[in-house]
C-alpha cells in the first residue's frame, strides 16, 4: 500500500486544475506526507469545492476495531483486571485506513457519493522496494511519478467530516475530518515493486471532474491502473 507521497508544486497549479476555493493557507514548496498527517486535498464541502488540509486515514471498520478491543480485553482479563468492554471499544485507538480497495464493502459504500469524494494532489508516491534492501538495513523506497519532471497528479479519494475517534492514546477522544485514497491493480511499472496494488490516479481535468461530480456508476470506472506509459519509476540519487 502507498503510505508515503510527496507534493512539490504550488497552490496556483492545484487551483487551476480543480477550480477550487483556496482555504489551505501557505503550502510548503516540497512536502513528504505520511499516514495520520494533515495533507492538502480538494473536496466537495457544503456545496462548494475547496482546497484545504485534512488528516490522512479514514475510519477503520467496526469489525477491525472490535477485534482489536477484544484482544486488548483478553490481555487485561488475563492479568486479573476488570474490563468495561464498551468503554474499551469506544477508546480503542484507530490509526486509520490510508488506502481503500474494496469499494463494494458496506463500510465504504456509505461514503461513495459526490459529497464524500475528494482528490489528493501529489507529484510522486513511494512503495517499499524489498529487492533493494541491504541485509540488516531498512527497506528503501522506490518512487513513482507521471514522468521524470514529476508533474502534478491527483489520487482519487474519499473523505468524512467530524468523525469521533481515538487516533492516538495520548490525544484521547477527538473529532476531526479524515480522508484516504483508492487503490487498484498495479500496472506493469508498479507490479515488480509492489504486486498487490497501486493508487488510483487522475491525470487531467476531465478525470478530476468525473470523480468529483459524476454518479458512482460512472465514477467507479476510474478505479483502474494507469497505462504503463503514464507512469515511471524514478531513478534513485
Whether 195 and 127 have beta carbons less than 8 Å apart is answered as no
Summarised one tens digit per residue, pLDDT across range 146-185 is 999 999 999 999 999 999 988 888 888 889 999 999 999 9
Provide the whole-model pTM: 0.89
Residue 237 has pLDDT above 60, yes or no: no
pLDDT band at 65 (very low <50, low <70, confident <90, very high): low
Chain Cα centroid distance, residue 104: 17
- Residue at grid coordinates 507534493: 7
Q: What is the pLDDT of residues 92-115, one digit of tens each?
A: 777 889 999 999 999 999 999 999
Q: Mind listing the pLDDT tens digit for each residue in 179-234?
A: 999 999 999 999 999 999 999 999 999 999 999 999 999 999 999 999 999 999 99
CA 198 to chain centre: 12
Give the Å distances, CA to CA, from 133 to 72, 144, 178, 225. Answer: 34, 18, 33, 26
Domain edges within the chain: 5-59+95-233, 60-93
CATH fold of the domain at 5-59+95-233: hypothetical protein yedk fold (3.90.1680)
Distance separating alpha carbons of residues 184 and 198, to the nearest angstrom: 6
> Is 70 a residue whose pLDDT tops 90?
no
Contact by Cβ (8 Å): 194, 127? yes
pLDDT computed for residue 71 by the predictor: 79
Mean of all residue pLDDT scores within the chain: 90
- Of the candidates 83, 112, 110, the one whose C-alpha atom is nearest the C-alpha of residue 182 is 112
Q: State how far the alpha carbon of 10 is from the alpha carbons of 59, 123, 184, in Å.
A: 29, 11, 28
Amino acid at each position: 500500500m502507498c503510505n508515503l507521497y510527496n507534493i512539490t508544486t504550488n497552490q496556483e497549479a492545484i487551483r487551476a486544475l480543480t477550480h477550487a476555493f483556496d482555504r489551505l493557507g501557505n503550502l510548503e514548496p516540497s512536502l513528504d506526507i505520511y499516514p495520520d498527517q494533515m495533507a492538502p486535498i480538494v473536496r466537495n464541502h457544503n456545496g462548494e469545492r475547496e482546497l484545504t488540509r485534512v488528516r490522512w486515514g479514514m475510519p477503520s471498520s467496526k469489525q477491525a476495531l472490535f477485534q482489536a478491543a477484544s484482544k486488548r480485553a483478553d490481555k487485561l482479563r488475563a492479568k486479573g483486571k476488570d474490563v468495561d468492554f464498551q468503554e474499551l471499544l469506544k477508546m480503542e485507538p484507530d490509526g486509520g485506513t490510508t488506502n481503500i480497495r474494496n469499494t463494494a464493502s458496506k463500510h465504504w459504500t456509505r461514503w461513495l457519493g459526490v459529497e464524500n469524494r475528494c482528490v489528493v494532489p501529489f507529484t510522486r508516491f513511494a512503495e517499499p522496494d524489498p529487492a533493494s534492501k541491504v541485509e540488516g538495513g531498512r527497506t528503501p523506497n522506490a518512487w513513482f511519478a507521471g514522468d521524470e519532471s514529476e508533474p502534478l497528479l491527483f489520487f482519487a479519494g474519499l473523505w468524512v467530516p467530524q468523525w469521533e475517534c481515538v487516533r492516538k492514546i495520548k490525544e484521547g477522544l477527538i473529532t476531526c475530518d479524515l480522508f484516504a485514497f483508492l487503490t487498484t491493480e498495479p500496472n506493469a511499472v508498479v507490479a515488480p515493486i509492489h504486486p498487490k496494488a497501486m493508487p488510483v490516479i487522475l491525470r487531467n481535468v476531465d478525470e478530476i471532474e468525473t470523480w468529483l461530480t459524476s454518479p458512482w456508476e460512472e465514477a467507479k470506472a476510474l478505479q483502474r491502473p494507469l497505462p504503463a506509459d503514464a507512469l515511471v519509476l524514478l531513478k534513485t540519487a
